[in-house]
Each structure stands twice: as C-alpha cells, then as structure tokens.
Structure 1
Amino acid sequence: MRVVAGDRKGMPLKAMPGNNTRPTTDKVKESIFNMIGPFFDGGIALDLFAGSGGLGLECLSRGMERVVFVEKDRKAYSIVKENVAKCRYEEEAEVFCNDAARAVKALIKRDIVFDVVLFDPPYHKAEYYDLVRVLIDHGKVDPKGVIMCEHATDVTLPDAYGAFVCTRRETYGGVVVSIYRVAEEEGE
C-alpha cells in the first residue's frame, strides 16, 4: 500500500495486520481519485473510517489543506498517526481515536465544512452510512463538495442523500464506490 499520486507519490504506507481493517487497494484508490477529482486546490477532507489513513493521506498528497481522520480501533489509530508522521503531514492532519457516530456529533458542533467526505465503514455495519445524512443535514458538507462511499456489492445505498445525488457508481470485484455530488441546475 502506498500514496498513489501527488507530493508524496510512491510513499509506502503501513497497513493494519489481520482482517480488522480492509485497506483500499492502490488500484481502487486511484480510481476513486480519478472520479472525485485527481488533484485539489486546498480544502478540508474527512476520512471517517480511516483504517490506516490511506485515503486521507492521498487527499493531502493531492492538494487538500487539511484532513480530519477518525478511527475507532486503537491499533489502527496508531498506524494512522504513524503514516501521517511518515508522510510529514502532522500540521495538516487531525487524528482522532473515536467511534464514527460520536465523532460526527463532535464535528457538527465545530465550525468546519468539508469539501471531501470519505466513507469506508466496516461492510457489515451498513447503518453507518446514515452518518452521511447527519453531516449533510447539519451543513458539514460544502454544496460544491463530494462524498465517496465505499461499500460491499450486497449493500445498496440510496440514490440521493438530500441534495447530494449519486452521480457515479463503479464496481471493483466485491467493492462498490458510490460518488455523491449536488446535482447542477440546467444551464450551469
């Protein structure tokens, strides 16, 4: 596992041993960023189920100003911190060891709006996708932003979360990537 593109291209990342987390493969990661925007001109991202931090670190490498990483598993949290330090992004990263639902409750109280939201929860916990709506309902996702949900093929996500509509859905083996954006008005 490595950073695929940008400032830290090729940087190897430590992965969590065992089956508790499932790192996004480099191939899928590259496809995700081809869909959501290969490079960024600043902005803030949320990597809500960070695992080893690969998706959030990819955002930083590709030009995001800041990323908030949330990971519940203590060992995985330590690996996120280790990977952030290895990539020299300590100043640009906030790393929290917390349950996703609690983290979202804390984030909605902060003066922060995300340009990119990355959702890759444990596949057997489909209820976590409800947190997408909570973030949107509390104005925590910029209307020009993008939401990426990675999920198993047997998990069906809605066609829309409020104004955010699924604009693209791609399958990679047993993994589906669903991209949500606010639909543009006719003539824009």
Structure 2
Amino acid sequence: MRVISGSARGRTLKAVPGTGTRPTTDKVKEALFSIIGPYFDGGAVLDLFAGTGGLGIEALSRGMDRAVFVDMDFKSLETIRTNLKATKFEEQAEVYKNDAERALKALAKRENTFDLVFLDPPYRLKHGDKLMEQMDSLDLLEDQATIVLEHESSFDYPDSFGKFRAWRKAEYGEVAISIYVYDQESQSVQAEQGGIST
C-alpha cells in the first residue's frame, strides 16, 4: 500500500498485522479519489473504522487540513500512528481508540464538524446508514459533506434517506462503494412536498 497522490505521494503505508482488517486496495483508492477529489482545498476528514488510516492519510496528502482517525483495534491504532509519522502528517491528525457510536458522541461534544467521512464498518454489521443518521443528529457534518461508505457488493444501502442522497455507486469485485452527499435542506424540502412527515 502506498499514498497515491499529493504531498506524500509514493510513501509506503504499513499494513495492520494479522487478518482482522480489510485495507482498501490502491486500485479502489485511486478510483475513489478520482470521483470525490481528486484534490481538496482544505477541510476536515473523519476516518471511522480507520484500519491502516490509508484513506484519511490519502485525503490529507491531497489537501485536507486535518483528520480524525477512529478504530477499536490496538494494532490498527499503532499502524495509523506509524503511517502518520512516515507521511509527516502527525501534527494534522488525531487518533482515538473507541467504537463508532461513542466516538461520534465524543466528537460532537468537542464541536467537531467534517467535510468528508470514510465509513468502512465490518461487513457483518450493515449499519452504515444508521451511523450517518447519528452524524446528522449530532451536527457533525458540514452542508454538502461527502460520505464514502464501503460495503459488500451483494448488499445495497438506500439511494436516499434523511438528508443523505446517493451521488455515485461503484463495484470492484466483492467490494462496493456508495458515495453520499449530505444536504441540510433536503429533508425539509421533501417534507414541504409531502414526501415525508416531520
């Protein structure tokens, strides 16, 4: 694994020891960032279920100002810190050991908001949409934030729900990526049109 583009281009990233994580392949990462970027003019990124930290680090390399990495696995946290040191992004990053729900609540208390979120929960959980709705309820997202949800290609998340609408979906073998945009006005508009009740 490596950083594909930007200020840390070509830097090798360490993998998490063992078989407990599924790092996003360079091929998928390159395709993903060509859709959502390829470069950014500042902003904050949240890498939830961060694993190696490869996606958040790629976003920093491509212009994001700061990143928050969250994972429950001690080996993942050590790997993320090693990779941040190798790419010289330590000063722009925070790394936390926590489960996703508790991490989101803690970030909300600190009044964090994000322009980009990477969500790669264990495939067995299938609760990415619930985590996105929690982010909305906690005011963690900037208007028009991009949420990248990685999941099994055999499983489909809704095209739209609440204030989230699917922008792009792509499949790479057994892996699928659903990219959503957060629109703070969308739910109220739908309600006015009789689409939902509030």
After TM superposition, the score normalised by the length of structure 1 is 0.94
Structure 2 residue runs of 5 or longer lacking an equivalent are 187-198
What's the offset of the Cα at 1:6?
0.3
Specify the code of the residue in structure 2 equivalent to 1:60: L
Counterpart in the other structure of 2:190? none
Counterpart in the other structure of 2:193? none
The structure richer in helix per residue is: 2
SS of equivalent to 2:171: strand
What's the offset of the Cα at 1:129?
3.9
- TM-superposition CA deviations, 1:72-114 (whole Å, max 9, x none): 1001111001101111111100001111111011112121110
- Distance in 1, matches of 2:97 and 2:79, equals 11
Counterpart in the other structure of 2:6? 6
What's the offset of the Cα at 1:161?
3.6
Counterpart in the other structure of 2:159? 159
Counterpart in the other structure of 2:57? 57
Conserved? CA contact 1:119–1:129, under 8 Å: no
What's the offset of the Cα at 1:144?
2.0
SS of equivalent to 2:143: strand
- TM-superposition CA deviations, 1:113-150 (whole Å, max 9, x none): 10001001111121254111100222211112100001
- Distance in 1, matches of 2:110 and 2:128, equals 20
Q: How many residues align?
A: 185
- Write out aligned runs for 1:6-155 (5 A): 6-155=6-155
Specify the code of the residue in structure 2 equivalent to 1:111: E
- Distance in 2, matches of 1:133 and 1:33, equals 24
Conserved? CA contact 1:23–1:51, under 8 Å: yes
Quick check: 144-153 or 159-168, which moved more? 159-168
After TM superposition, the score normalised by the length of structure 2 is 0.89
- Percent identity over the alignment? 48
- Distance in 1, matches of 2:136 and 2:35, equals 20
Structure 1 consecutive aligned stretches of length 4 or more whose deviation exceeds 3 Å: 182-185
Quick check: 39-48 or 126-135, which moved more? 126-135
Specify the code of the residue in structure 2 equivalent to 1:130: K
Counterpart in the other structure of 1:173? 173
Specify the code of the residue in structure 2 equivalent to 1:9: R
Conserved? CA contact 2:44–2:66, under 8 Å: yes
Structure 1 residue runs of 5 or longer lacking an equivalent are none
- Distance in 2, matches of 1:128 and 1:42, equals 25
Specify the code of the residue in structure 1 equivalent to 2:64: M
- Distance in 2, matches of 1:167 and 1:144, equals 11
Conserved? CA contact 2:128–2:149, under 8 Å: no
Aligned pair in 2 of structure 1 residues 42, 23: CA closer, same or farther (>3 Å)?
same
SS of equivalent to 1:91: helix
Quick check: 86-95 or 175-184, which moved more? 175-184
